[in-house]
Amino acid sequence: MYRKSPLLSPLRSLFRGPLRIPAVALVVTGLLLSGCDSGAPGHSAAASTTATRSLGPLPADLSADLAPYYQQKLSWHTCGVPGFECATMKAPLDYAHPVAADDLKLAVARKKAAGPGARLGSLLVNPGGPGGSAIDYLQYAALGYPAPVTSRYDMAAIDPRGVARSEPVACLTDAQMDAFTAVDTTPDDAAETAKLVATDTGFAAGCAKRSAKLLAHVSTVESARDMDVLRALLGDDKLSYVGKSYGTFLGATYAGLFPQRVGRLVLDGAMDPAVSALDSSRTQAGGFETAFTAFAGDCVQHTDCPLGTTSAEDAGRRLDDFFRALDAKPLPTGQARTLTEALGTTGVISALYDEGSWPTLRAALTKARQGDGAGLLKLSDEYYERDANGRYSNLMYANAAVNCLDLPPALSSPADVERALPSFRSTSPHFGTGLAWASLICGYWTVPATGKPQRIEAAGAAPILVVGTIRDPATPYAWAQSLASQLTSGHLLTYNGDGHTAYGRGSDCVDTAVNLYLLEGTTPPENQKCD
């Protein structure tokens, strides 16, 4: 039995990043399948520069010690809804030193194409995170992606190592996670700073205690190599793939490692692999500021806007006042937990991922200003994948584990944060302080980072489609532009809209262009923009 994530709308996109977790982005998983198997503190802060080194490809020939993984036979069985199959795939814990006794068991799933039209092979999907369950997302993708695509591709997914059904990383008890998410992330004095540091170090220590075997081997590079094993086991010469949010980093990493095996890759809501963790956190803070400005501009047009009806600037001032009031006195929520400033901020940010959630945010803020914090707490719980029984999925644990391994920490001490605060506040007046302090956690991680910022060129790869949304709050549009320019065969498709990611979110223009690429390999015209 596996704990299920909350049942959320497949079109709702949430960011799982700087709110007490390292900077990263995620598009939330859709409907669920069931029955599938399953350094020391004080690192120096990452340089705030763009990388010049590039990720190089792996040798094209398969080494003898990896052959057993590529030649294993998957035992498929029905699971969840009719038409879906699940299996367990073995992967080496350490690709550099494969030892059968240490092998990981990774959960995979698929839904075979039913036609009409000639079969195009498998289309792997990943919703992001890191930490989002690709198998949970598969049901939405297989049933919700356009029929011309799902009728010709076998839709497939693998829960990345450390995630959901695939040897999940564990860190805290549910009660400890409640305390972690509620702690003040805008400390006003030394005591509050010490409490914040203690919860960060406690989180890192909990992960080290409960997941010692995994923590050094949940990198994006290793997950990309796992995808290549699955590609071979599915019988595909090349990988076709749709990755959303962090899934774009996973897909681009695959392309960098295996350019000769790239089929049709869609990277939607792109991350920039060349930026440091510090630059990533600060830029994402600006993305949330942009999203809030768009929300506020819409809100003040409504007579029931809880932030006033004058201007977006005035709405921002009222939001600041609300956060200050929460900091001084948390709100009741109808349950034992109160709405702290940290939880309230998470609730606001969680609703900024999708303009369809703006009415929900207006209602939650209205209730909060009347003294009831339940609506914002619900939004925060959705963000953290906390269910009605108080149980958390492992999304946040995997999220931290992957990010802290992929990049050196953005900031490593309270003094680092204090120095970074002016730039964060300038980039994001309403959220910058909290997001700066949230960038601290990897500074206390017990396993040194194995990755670093690097360009991904994937020379020799087939054309790769990068999709960027101009007002994307979690993966700013500039990152899509950067990734498309780095990739030797990159092509950029622009959506002039709001929300996180674009494909399958209501734009006929975007869907038509992506479908044409997936079905025929035809890339959009240069500089195509969809409104």
Q: Which two tokens stand for residue 48?
A: 């705030």
The 10 Å Cβ neighbour count of residue 103 is 16
Using the 8-state DSSP alphabet, how is residue 457 labeled?
A: -
Can 472 be counted among the known catalytic residues? yes
As given in the structure block, the two tokens for residue 93 are 């814990």
Query: Could you give the 3-state DSSP secondary structure of residue 270?
Result: coil
Alpha carbon distance 520, 53 (integer Å): 33
Rg (Cα) of the chain, in Å, rounded? 22
Q: Which residue has the tokens 């034992």?
A: 336
| Set 245, 280, 380, 507: catalytic member | 245
Coil/strand/helix, residue 465: strand
Tokens for 421, please give them. 């605060």
Q: Which of 489, 500, 507, 511 is catalytic?
A: 500
Which of 268, 472, 498, 511 is flagged as catalytic? 472
Query: Is 350 labeled as catalytic in the residue annotation?
Result: no
Residue 302 a catalytic site member: no
Q: How many residues does the chain have?
A: 531
Three-state DSSP class for residue 158 = strand
The Cα-based distances of 471 to 144, 495, 499 in angstroms read: 24, 9, 7
- Measured from the Cβ of residue 186, the count of other Cβ atoms closer than 10 Å reads 18
Buried b (16+ CB within 10 A) or exposed e, 122-138: bbbbbbbbbbbbbbbbb
Beta strands at 122-126 and 154-158: parallel, antiparallel or unpaired: parallel
Determine the Cα–Cα distance for residues 91 and 229; give it in Å rounded to an integer: 8
Quote the CA–CA distance of 317 and 52 in Å, as a whole number. 40
Q: Is the peptide bond before 187 cis (omega within 30 degrees of 0)?
A: no
ω into 359 cis (within 30 of 0): no
Q: Give catalytic residue positions.
A: 245, 472, 500
